[in-house]
């Protein structure tokens, strides 16, 4: 099944639901960054969460950045997701592997750590991005993003994200977000019912492994609540906006002395994009041109 995002509503518009399947893009991230099992799960959950959050934005070009810093051995995680269905991301220490946790699952919480913060930045593409910070609950990502939605955006939300990764790579990844909108948020019984239904699921990836589609998962959770599934299906993909021009721009910022040094010592420069792992090579001639540009600009 291709990576996709499907939206639905229920309870006469009082409930908003979004689901994503991110199996292929999580596998692409795993291969690009040589991620360990636990790093694949942590980054995959973060990228799915980013796509779920970005889906509620209205302005074309909007993006959501999720930055997790929990003090664990994995270091920080950064996921950058767009309303357009593109996502990219990385972890600081992709090689870290931990033994399974007490439930026999990948120990994402142990790798990420729970002594730190989740930073969410919503950027509509112009002006000042809106950012907000919450303390981590468990470092398992799903709990932390749900906590952010409830405390920072004051929207009762149930969020479930998961990644299944084995020797053959990522075989299932994705998530679901169900939110009770302001018109229905005062209905505590409804909020509790939804929370208990989502909590009653064994996880998101087992549903995918059973062969369930996103509409079937919505049906299972909200089928008796006047469910409406939007027919439009949005494609999702791993995509990084980096380019050689941007790399040259960043090199230029280093200034003439540093550039001259690179020409003399290394006969050029090599730069790797954190987000996608792409390696860019700038030749001595290109660096010389940057110095000439700097001199022209300073005249």
Give the footprint of Zn ion on this chain (CB under 5 A): 240, 242, 273, 275-276, 278
Within the chain, what is the greatest distance between any pair of CA atoms? 71
Q: How far is the CB of 71 from Zn ion (least distance, A)?
A: 27
Q: How far is the CB of 273 from Zn ion (least distance, A)?
A: 3
The CB density around residue 151, as the number of other CB atoms within 10 Å, is 12
Q: How far is the CB of 246 from Zn ion (least distance, A)?
A: 9
Give the nearer residue to Zn ion in terms of CB position, either 29 or 259.
Answer: 29
What does the alpha-carbon distance between residue 109 and residue 272 come to, in Å, rounded to a whole number? 28
Give the nearer residue to Zn ion in terms of CB position, either 90 or 218.
Answer: 90
Give the nearer residue to Zn ion in terms of CB position, either 51 or 273.
Answer: 273
Q: How far is the CB of 69 from Zn ion (least distance, A)?
A: 21
Q: How far is the CB of 25 from Zn ion (least distance, A)?
A: 14
Give the nearer residue to Zn ion in terms of CB position, either 20 or 247.
Answer: 247
Give the nearer residue to Zn ion in terms of CB position, either 119 or 280.
Answer: 280
Give the nearer residue to Zn ion in terms of CB position, either 207 or 242.
Answer: 242
Helix (H) or strand (E) holding 70: none
* Beta carbons of 124 and 62 less than 8 angstroms apart: yes
- Residues paired with 67 in a beta bridge: 78, 119
Q: How far is the CB of 242 from Zn ion (least distance, A)?
A: 3
**Token reading at 34:** 């040589």
Give the nearer residue to Zn ion in terms of CB position, either 117 or 280.
Answer: 280
Helix (H) or strand (E) holding 269: strand 268-272
CB pairs under 8 A, 24+ apart, for 218-227? 218/6, 218/8, 218/17, 218/19, 221/17, 221/176, 221/178, 221/194, 221/197, 222/8, 222/10, 222/11, 222/15, 222/17, 222/178, 225/10, 225/11, 225/15, 226/10, 226/11, 226/12, 227/8, 227/9, 227/10
Q: How far is the CB of 279 from Zn ion (least distance, A)?
A: 10
């Amino acid at each position: 099944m291709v990576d996709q995002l499907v939206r639905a509503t229920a309870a006469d518009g009082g409930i908003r639901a979004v689901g994503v399947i991110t199996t292929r893009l999580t596998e692409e991230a795993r291969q690009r960054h040589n991620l360990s099992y636990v790093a694949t799960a942590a980054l995959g959950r973060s990228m799915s969460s980013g796509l779920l959050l970005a889906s509620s934005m209205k302005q074309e070009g909007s993006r959501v950045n999720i930055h997790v810093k929990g003090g664990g051995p994995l270091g920080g995680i950064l996921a950058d997701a767009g309303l357009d269905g593109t996502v990219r991301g990385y972890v600081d220490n992709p090689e870290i592997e931990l033994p399974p946790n007490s439930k026999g699952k990948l120990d994402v919480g142990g790798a990420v750590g729970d002594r730190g913060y989740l930073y969410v930045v919503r950027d509509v593409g112009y002006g000042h991005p809106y950012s907000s910070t919450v303390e981590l609950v468990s470092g398992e990502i799903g709990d932390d993003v749900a906590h952010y939605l409830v405390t920072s955006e004051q929207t009762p939300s149930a969020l479930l994200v998961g990644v299944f990764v084995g020797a053959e790579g990522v075989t299932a990844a994705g998530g679901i977000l169900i939110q009770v909108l302001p018109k229905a948020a005062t209905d505590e019984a409804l909020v509790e019912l939804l929370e208990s239904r989502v909590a009653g699921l064994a996880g998101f990836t087992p549903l995918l492994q059973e062969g369930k589609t996103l509409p079937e998962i919505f049906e299972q959770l909200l089928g008796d609540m006047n469910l409406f599934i939007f027919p439009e299906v949005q494609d999702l993909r791993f995509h990084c906006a980096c380019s050689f021009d941007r790399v040259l721009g960043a090199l230029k910022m280093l200034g003439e002395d540093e550039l001259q040094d690179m020409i003399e010592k290394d006969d050029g420069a090599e730069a790797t994009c954190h987000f996608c792992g792409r390696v860019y090579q700038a030749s001595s001639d290109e660096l010389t041109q940057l110095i000439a540009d700097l001199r022209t600009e300073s005249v």
